[in-house]
C-alpha cells in the first residue's frame, strides 16, 4: 500500500520547507525584545547554516525536474523583517517564472512578533499567492488530488509553539469531507511531536495538535500530512491511524556538514493506492534523488 504503481500516478508535486531567508538588523530601535534574540540567532547561526547564495542554482535544479506543482509550508523568513520578506517574495516569483504553480502558507517565523502578525506583514508580501477565503483552504493539484492547507501558526512572546483552534479544526474536517481520496493535508507544524527522526520540545510543538490529528485520522481517506518546522526529514506511518502518512521535509538551504546534507526538499507522487516519496539531498556539490520508504 505504501508504494503505489508508478503507471497510475495521478499527481506529482515538490515540497519545499523552511527557507529562512535572513538579514541582520543593525538598527537598535528595530531590536524589540524577541527580535533581539532572533537577530542574535541570525548573527550566530543562520549565516553559517542557511546559505542564501544557493537560492538561484537550487531553484534551477528544482525546475529541471519538470514538476510544475510546488508546495511551500512556511518559515520563508527568520525574523519577519521587510528585507527578508522582499528576498523571499523575489525567490517565489522566480519559481513562478520557471513555470511552477505555487501553493504556500506562513510559518511561525513569518509572524515573528505580535506586531508583524497584527499588521499582516506576511499577507502584504504574499497576498497574490494566498487563498482569498483564508485558511484552511482547499485547492486541487493538476491531476485532481485535493490539497487541504491548514493554519497552524501564531505569534508568541518567546516560544516557537503553534496553535490550531477548535473552529479551524472543524473547518478542516468539513474540507476533508469534500476532498479527493487520497488527499494531501499541508501545515507548517507536524501533528506528531516525535518520530524516529525528530523530537519536538514542548515550546516548539503545535498546541491542540490532538484535535487536528483526530480530524485527519478519522476522515476515512488515505492522507499524506506534509509539514516542515522541525528541520528534519521524516516519513512515517501514523502509529494510531494507518490511513495517514506523515512527511516532514528538511530545511531547503540547511547546511549540515555533520549529516553530509547541504540542502534538501521532497518530491511526492500521488497514486490511487497511496504515495511515493523521493528525498532530494544536496551533497558533494550535486543533487542526489533517493527513494524513501515509510518508517
Q: Give the footprint of Fe ion on this chain (CB under 5 A).
A: 18, 75, 107-108, 229
Least distance CB 77 / Fe ion (angstroms): 10
Least distance CB 32 / Fe ion (angstroms): 19
The span from the CA of 245 to the CA of 62, in Å, is 24
Output the DSSP codes for 144-206.
S-EEEE-------SS---EE--HHHHHHHHHHHHHS-SSEEEE-SS-S-SB-SS-B--GGGSE
The span from the CA of 247 to the CA of 233, in Å, is 7
Respond yes or no on whether the N-terminal peptide bond of residue 182 is cis (omega within 30° of 0).
yes
Q: Which is nearer to Fe ion, 252 or 275 (CB)?
A: 252
Q: Which is nearer to Fe ion, 205 or 229 (CB)?
A: 229
Least distance CB 131 / Fe ion (angstroms): 20
Least distance CB 61 / Fe ion (angstroms): 21
- Tell me which residue has cell 508504494: 3
CA 210 to chain centre: 19
Q: Which is nearer to Fe ion, 72 or 179 (CB)?
A: 72
Least distance CB 181 / Fe ion (angstroms): 29
Residue 42 per-residue DSSP state: I
Q: Which is nearer to Fe ion, 39 or 108 (CB)?
A: 108
Q: Which is nearer to Fe ion, 108 or 146 (CB)?
A: 108
Amino acid at each position: 500500500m505504501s508504494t503505489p504503481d508508478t503507471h497510475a500516478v495521478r499527481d506529482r508535486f515538490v515540497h519545499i520547507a523552511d527557507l529562512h531567508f535572513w538579514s541582520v538588523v543593525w538598527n537598535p530601535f528595530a531590536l524589540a525584545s524577541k527580535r533581539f534574540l532572533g537577530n542574535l540567532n541570525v548573527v550566530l547561526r543562520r549565516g553559517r547554516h542557511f546559505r542564501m547564495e544557493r537560492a538561484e542554482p537550487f531553484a534551477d535544479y528544482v525546475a529541471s525536474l519538470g514538476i510544475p506543482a510546488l508546495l511551500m509550508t512556511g518559515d520563508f523568513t527568520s525574523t519577519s523583517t521587510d528585507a527578508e520578506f522582499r528576498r523571499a517574495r523575489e525567490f517565489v516569483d522566480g519559481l513562478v517564472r520557471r513555470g511552477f504553480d505555487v501553493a504556500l502558507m506562513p510559518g511561525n517565523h513569518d509572524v515573528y512578533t505580535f506586531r508583524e502578525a497584527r499588521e499582516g506583514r506576511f499577507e502584504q508580501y504574499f497576498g497574490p499567492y494566498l487563498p482569498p477565503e483564508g485558511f484552511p483552504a482547499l485547492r486541487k493539484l493538476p491531476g485532481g488530488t485535493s490539497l487541504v492547507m491548514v493554519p497552524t501558526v501564531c505569534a508568541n512572546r518567546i516560544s516557537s509553539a503553534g496553535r490550531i483552534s477548535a473552529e479551524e479544526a472543524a473547518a478542516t474536517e468539513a474540507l476533508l469531507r469534500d476532498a479527493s481520496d487520497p488527499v494531501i493535508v499541508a501545515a507548517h507544524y507536524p501533528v506528531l511531536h516525535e518520530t524516529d527522526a525528530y523530537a519536538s520540545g514542548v515550546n516548539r510543538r503545535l498546541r491542540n495538535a490532538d484535535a487536528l490529528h483526530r480530524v485527519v485520522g478519522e476522515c476515512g481517506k488515505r492522507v499524506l500530512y506534509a509539514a516542515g518546522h522541525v528541520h528534519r526529514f521524516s516519513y512515517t506511518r501514523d502509529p494510531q491511524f494507518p490511513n495517514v502518512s506523515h512527511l516532514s521535509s528538511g530545511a531547503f538551504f540547511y547546511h549540515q556538514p555533520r549529516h553530509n546534507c547541504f540542502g534538501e526538499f521532497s518530491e511526492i507522487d500521488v497514486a490511487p493506492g497511496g504515495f511515493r516519496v523521493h528525498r532530494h539531498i544536496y551533497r558533494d556539490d550535486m543533487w542526489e534523488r533517493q527513494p524513501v520508504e515509510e518508517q
